[in-house]
Structure formats: C-alpha cells, structure tokens
A = this chain, B = another copy of it.
Amino acid sequence: MMTGDQAPPMRLKCAPSWLINQASAHSHRLVTERFAAADARGYHYRLLAALAEFGPASQAELGRRTGVDRSDVVAALNELAGKKLIERSPDPTDRRRNIITITPEGGHHLSHLDGVLAQIQEDLCAPLSHTEREELIRLLTRIVDHARARAPESLLGK
C-alpha cells in the first residue's frame, strides 16, 4: 500500500561517484528531452560548439576537443551534414583529412541550442547560489582535469 519515501542506502548517498552519477542522469534527462524538442542531441551541440569557437577543423580534432570518439564523430557529422548544419570538404594539404565547416544555418542552430542549454544550467543549479555554482564548477573542474591527466591518450583522442 503506502510507499513512505524510500531513501537510498547510506553507502550510496554519501559516495561522490553515486552523487555525480545521479546528477549526471538528471542532467542527461534534461539535455536529451529539451534538445530533442530542438531536433538535436548532445553530440551535435558539442561538435557545433567546437566548430564555432575554433573554426574549421578535422574530424579527429573535433573528437579530441569534444571528448567524442572518432567513430561517433563520423555518425554525428553525417546527421549534421544531412541537415546542412556543417559541410565536409577534403583538406587540400592533407588528403587524409576532411575539413569540417559550420554553415550559417549551423550557427543559427547553435545559437538556439545555446539558449536551451543556458536554461538547462539554470534548472540544474536552481538550488544553488551564485557562489555555490562557481564553487561546484571549480571542484568538478579539478576532478575532470585530474582524470584527463591520469588517462593520457586512450580516452579522448582516439
């Protein structure tokens, strides 16, 4: 009959790995459902953001910057190209490479997603003050940087 507010086990409740995981699940939920409404998904934003900030790049570089596996970059770029948000052209100076360029439509789409994502941050961090948000960013950045340092090439370059 009754439910009675079933709390998680203490072991989990205090484990950073669990908390990070739960927070990530919630964040992922927000991202996928709101990006879906904009006909996008996480990988698309990452790639468009990298292109907008650093200019045209090869697929491998995009993967390195965004933490997306090379093979997944291929698929995501295919989707973006299908919607004319990016363009693939061969690199004349290195025939192994494609040079990926963001189109004007891609730029507009990115701007829109920027707004969507800003709202997501807002909702995600709603219970935190401005200072607390900065502190959270600081702490997580330290963890992520440390992870990168300890996991040399195999995890993000591909």
Q: Which of A1-9, A74-82, A84-92, A98-106 contacts B (4 or more CB under 8 A)?
A: A1-9
Please determine whether B117 and A8 come into contact, CB atoms closer than 8 angstroms: no
Residue of B nearest to A28 (CB): B21
CB distance from A25 to the nearest CB of B (A): 8
Please determine whether B140 and A126 come into contact, CB atoms closer than 8 angstroms: no
Which residues of the partner chain B approach A46 to less than 8 Å between Cβ atoms? Answer: 9, 12
CA–CA, A38 and B125, complex, Å: 36
Please determine whether B121 and A146 come into contact, CB atoms closer than 8 angstroms: no
A36 within 8 A of B: no
CB distance from A93 to the nearest CB of B (A): 11
Which residues of the partner chain B approach A126 to less than 8 Å between Cβ atoms? Answer: 146
CB distance from A148 to the nearest CB of B (A): 8
Which residues of the partner chain B approach A136 to less than 8 Å between Cβ atoms? Answer: 16, 19, 136, 139-140
A141 within 8 A of B: yes
What would 18 more interface pairs be, CB under 8 Å, given A19-B137, A23-B24?
A6-B61, A6-B64, A8-B65, A10-B53, A12-B46, A13-B141, A16-B27, A16-B125, A19-B141, A19-B144, A20-B23, A21-B24, A21-B42, A23-B143, A26-B147, A127-B143, A128-B142, A136-B139
Residues of A within 8 A of B (CB): 3, 6-17, 19-31, 42, 46, 49-50, 52-54, 61, 64-67, 114, 117, 120-121, 124-128, 132-133, 135-137, 139-147, 151, 155, 157
